Amino acid sequence: MPFIVGPTENGHERKQQVFDELEKKSNGNRNDHGDTKSVMSTLISRKNGISATSGLINFICGMIGPGCFSLAVSFKQAGLWGGFALVFIVGFLSLYSMHKIVSCSQFLAKSNGDQSLDYGEMAEAAMLNSYKWARRHAKLSKIVVNACLLAFQLGVITVFMVFAVEHVIEIWEFIADSPPPFSKSVMILMYFVPQMLLNFIGHMKLITILCLCGNVIILAAIILITKELMVHKWYPTWELNSVTGIEGISLAAGALIYSFEGQAMVLPLENSLKHPNDMTGATGVLSTAMNLVTVLYAFLGFFGYVTFGPAVQGSLTLNLPNSVLTVSIKGLLVLKIFFGSAIQLFVIVQMLLPSLRSKISEERKIIHRFLPYALRLGLMLISLCLALVVPNLMQIIPLVGITSGLLISLILPSFLDSMVFLPVYKKQGEMFKYYQKMMINAFLFILGWLFLGSGLYSSIDDIINNDV
């Protein structure tokens, strides 16, 4: 996630949404309950917003992380041409779902003035302004969305932990010219201690700056890998699997969904743009960024697999021949991950802490003082347990992607899009748009659950059988 995700500066809370006034303002501005054309065409310009170019750079930096180095494994799991097709399918579905999230947020926000909605708030607003039966489930929808975001963030921290330890092992082997004397599980526990100490830091400005510098490290690693892919001898494509079975495709889809996951940062980014309409459109921030990222992912995945073949590891950086330069890059990646985990946890803590504090009496000052530390420790222990149970990148990444990642990126956007626009189209008498949106969203909703079921079964079976 980029730095834009998280609390606003100076600790100010996000402006509260006045959902009860939305219907009143809508009725005052138009005769029917929802005119999508008039609302969506409203142009908003913010004085302190960032430009579309800055938003594009921010979004690309947020999308391209350590997950991009695991894409070759998806090609191994799905087959060379199956993986190649799957990259573009998952990329298109991710972009389509991001557009749904932004459209829902803009429609709900503009109906009530220029309001800043995050993913959870948008879900609550969608239910409050939908069918009568849906309104009583508004709070639940916000809880479900935030729970999925929480689960995904914890999954990302777990992946970071395993990623860092596997690279530390590589560095150890290069320096000592022998494997480390500890098992991977012991090294995960050893890594957890300094990571936990860093996470106890409440002020994140220095860590954020260091993490932003980490984007340079990611770029350097991509350049090194590209150079290796271009000079290395390739496997003949006919010697590699073209397409595998449903189990392999499900695992590959999970890893790709993890890599393409950007739904959580779409609304914070859209809220920060000077012109929110720059987010959408064929040449908008979303489409431009996702097209570039998809091409990069297809390149790394395809040539990573034809270069290393069946020997490809959970991260292409682990396939790089050890030298002073490559080991230095691996060490810098570990530092990038080390500081990045602290930011991931900081976002989760800021999400949960206010609600927990509200349930504790203000007289219990000691509890209030130590609550943030206890919360950080508890969340990190969850990630630690998951890392110890699944200490392999080729298994943990698909598991995170196919569960919470799929819910955030495909299932929930389809459902919320229906809740927002179906009642509006029906009241306006636009039945063609009504049935069109209903069928598309129903198809994506069912497809998402089918992939979640098959992917979760495949991931658990892969973990139990240790088939890596």
Tell me: the pLDDT tens digits for 381-402?
Answer: 999 999 999 888 888 888 898 8
Q: Give CA–CA dist 79/81, Å, rounded.
A: 6
How many domains would you assign to the chain?
Answer: 1
What is the band of 46 on the pLDDT scale with cuts at 50, 70, 90? low
The candidate with the shortest Cα–Cα distance to 68, out of 151, 189, 159, 7, is: 159
Cβ neighbours of 263 (radius 10 Å): 25
**Residues linked to residue 273 through DSSP beta bridges, in sequence order:** 50
Q: Which of the 8 DSSP states describes residue 6?
A: S
What is the band of 442 on the pLDDT scale with cuts at 50, 70, 90? very high
Q: Give CA–CA dist 300/222, Å, rounded.
A: 9
Tell me: the pLDDT tens digits for 253-272?
Answer: 988 998 887 777 787 777 77
Whether the pLDDT of residue 84 is over 60: the answer is: yes
97: left (phi over 0), alpha (psi -120 to 50) or beta: alpha
Per the CB < 8 A criterion, the answer to whether 415 and 437 are in contact is no
Is 152 within a domain? yes
Is 55 within a domain? yes
What is the band of 37 on the pLDDT scale with cuts at 50, 70, 90? low
What is the domain-level CATH number for residue 195? 1.20.1740
Q: Which residue has the higher pLDDT, 293 or 368?
A: 293
Q: Which residue has the higher pLDDT, 211 or 434?
A: 434
Q: Which of the 8 DSSP states describes residue 111?
A: B
Name, in order, each residue with C-beta under 8 angstroms of 388's C-beta and a sequence gap of 6 or more: 185, 188, 189
Whether the pLDDT of residue 217 is over 90: the answer is: no
Look at the block and give the residue holding tokens 């750079």.
Answer: 57
Is 32 within a domain? no
Is 85 within a domain? yes
What is the band of 28 on the pLDDT scale with cuts at 50, 70, 90? very low
Is 20 within a domain? no
What value does the mean pLDDT of the chain take?
Answer: 82
If you compute the radius of gyration of the chain from its CA atoms, what whole number of angstroms results? 23
Per the CB < 8 A criterion, the answer to whether 103 and 40 are in contact is yes
Q: What is the mean pLDDT of residues 371-375?
A: 86
* Amino acid, res. 274: K
Whether the pLDDT of residue 86 is over 90: the answer is: yes
Whether the pLDDT of residue 29 is over 70: the answer is: no
**Structural domain span for residue 454:** 49-353+362-462
What is the band of 168 on the pLDDT scale with cuts at 50, 70, 90? very high
What is the band of 190 on the pLDDT scale with cuts at 50, 70, 90? very high
Q: Which residue has the higher pLDDT, 294 or 323?
A: 294
SS3 281: coil
Q: Which residue has the higher pLDDT, 51 or 79?
A: 79
In 410-433, which positions are buried (b, 16+ CB within 10 angstroms) versus exposed (e)?
bbbbbbbbbbbbbbbbbebeeeeb
What is the band of 23 on the pLDDT scale with cuts at 50, 70, 90? very low
pTM reported for the whole predicted model? 0.82
Percent above pLDDT 70 for the chain: 86
What is the band of 35 on the pLDDT scale with cuts at 50, 70, 90? low
